[in-house]
Amino acid sequence: MSGSSNETWRFTAVRAFHRAIEAVGGQSRAADLLDCTQSNLSQLIKKGSLLPSRHVLRLESASGVSKHLLRPDIYPLSLPSESNASGEECEDTLPAYPATVACDPTVKLQRKDIP
């Protein structure tokens, strides 16, 4: 796995974590939702840690921030189905990325850099 690629998705995930906390009303509210202490959440943020996997789905539901952004290492984006063989553009998959993404039905795995 290249260092640059790892740094890019990690940076995106940490920013998404911060955005999700803001979306639910701050650290105290997020800690209540995740059933952890505000201090614990503050430590994660201060260290630049990723959201622990056990909290991803709950925070996604409460904040509206996609699990694909919160933990792309665990929840990579799905690829278009084989039925889209025309090469036409897909619809937007995430509101954070307003540009459309070209479909490539020949690609089988989206994240080859993750073991």
Question: Looking at the structure, do residues 36 and 17 belong to the same domain, yes or no?
Answer: yes
Question: Looking at the structure, do residues 57 and 90 belong to the same domain, yes or no?
Answer: no
* Tokens of residue 21, six digits: 């906390």
Question: Looking at the structure, do residues 21 and 62 belong to the same domain, yes or no?
Answer: yes
Question: Looking at the structure, do residues 63 and 82 belong to the same domain, yes or no?
Answer: no
**Which residues form the domain of 87?**
77-110
Residue 31 included in any domain: yes
Q: How far apart are CA 25 and CA 28, in angstroms?
A: 8
pLDDT at position 100 = 39
Output the tens digit of pLDDT for each of the chain's 115 residues.
455 667 888 889 999 999 999 999 999 999 999 999 999 999 999 999 999 999 999 999 999 999 999 999 999 987 655 555 555 554 444 444 444 344 444 444 444 455 5
Q: How far apart are CA 38 and CA 10, in angstroms?
A: 22
CB neighbour burial string for 1-21, b if at least 16 within 10 angstroms, e if fewer:
eeeeeeeebeeebbebbeebb
Indicate the number of domains in the chain: 2
Length, in residues, of the chain? 115
pLDDT at position 48 = 92
Q: How far apart are CA 2 and CA 19, in angstroms?
A: 26
**CATH code at position 25:** 1.10.260
